[in-house]
């Protein structure tokens, strides 16, 4: 069966490593579907914020999750049918996302959908546990990383472009805190899969990263056919 389909390409890595941009471009170049797992968690965080649900109240959170539906449609993220692709990218949503993603009840809501969406193959799936938990049998796995300063600078430019008033030092502290939280969480911690190809994007342009990944995907496609 694996030889009759296009491969699943899983991309993991810390915040600011360039996963989102690279995943989108790689999917376009390959003609694959893009599955942004982080966006799904952000949509859930947005719904929790809007509803005023205490993220530490497990029962209230469970009741809330039963009432929401999150889906991906042509790269757009929909929360109960509403396109929330833009509003989920705020710092506040990002911080709550990291908190919620540590809870098994939230991951149990999202992971089965992600697996079903990826199962036909021909998909680039991007997140923090795609190669270790969501799609451990993915034919191609990448782990994107970069120095803390590089990732913080990228995040700073992103949030200030959205009009946020924040200092670089503050963003750097937040990125470092997110790293520690993601790496040390009890549920699906961020780590590189043993069979993942690590790509350090610190000194590489986006195009250079994509070209390197395209070459590796091409080699793996030949080996699985």
pLDDT in tens, 155-183: 999 889 988 889 999 999 999 998 998 88
7-217 has which CATH code? Answer: 3.40.50.300
**What does the pLDDT look like over 136-146, one tens digit per residue?**
999 999 999 99
**What does the pLDDT look like over 70-85, one tens digit per residue?**
888 777 889 999 999 9
Which neighbouring-strand residues pair with 223? none
Can you tell me the distance from the alpha carbon of 22 to that of 70, in angstroms, rounded to the nearest whole number? Answer: 23
**What does the pLDDT look like over 11-53, one tens digit per residue?**
999 988 999 899 999 999 999 999 888 888 999 999 999 999 9
The burial of 179, by beta-carbon neighbours within 10 Å (0-12 exposed, 13-18 middle, 19 or more buried), is given as: middle
Instruction: Report in angstroms the alpha-carbon separations of 56 from 91, 178, 182.
Output: 20, 18, 18
**How far from each other are the two terminal CA atoms of the chain, in whole angstroms?**
10
Its pTM stands at 0.81
Kindly list the domain boundaries of the chain, sorted by start residue. 7-217
Residue with tokens 């986006």: 206
Of 81, 89, 83, which Cα lies nearest the Cα of 39? 89
């Amino acid at each position: 069966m694996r030889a009759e389909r296009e491969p699943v390409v899983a991309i993991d890595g810390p915040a600011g490593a360039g996963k989102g941009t690279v995943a989108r471009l790689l999917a376009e170049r390959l003609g694959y579907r893009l599955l942004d797992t982080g966006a799904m968690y952000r949509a859930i965080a947005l719904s929790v914020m809007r509803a005023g649900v205490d993220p530490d109240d497990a029962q209230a959170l469970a009741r809330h999750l039963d009432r929401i539906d999150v889906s991906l449609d042509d790269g757009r993220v929909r929360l109960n049918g509403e396109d929330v692709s833009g509003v989920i990218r705020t710092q506040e949503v990002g911080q709550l996302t990291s908190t919620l993603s540590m809870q098994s009840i939230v991951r149990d809501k999202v992971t089965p959908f992600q697996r079903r969406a990826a199962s036909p193959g021909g998909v680039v799936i991007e997140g923090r546990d795609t190669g270790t938990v969501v799609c451990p049998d993915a034919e191609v796995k990448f782990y994107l990383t970069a120095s803390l300063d590089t990732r913080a600078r990228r995040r700073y430019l992103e949030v200030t472009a959205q009009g946020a008033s924040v200092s670089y030092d503050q963003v750097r502290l937040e990125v470092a805190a997110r790293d520690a939280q993601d790496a040390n969480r009890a549920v699906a911690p961020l780590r590189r899969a043993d069979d993942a190809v690590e790509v350090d994007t610190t000194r590489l342009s986006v195009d250079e990263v994509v070209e390197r990944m395209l070459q590796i995907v091409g080699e793996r496609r030949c080996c699985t056919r």
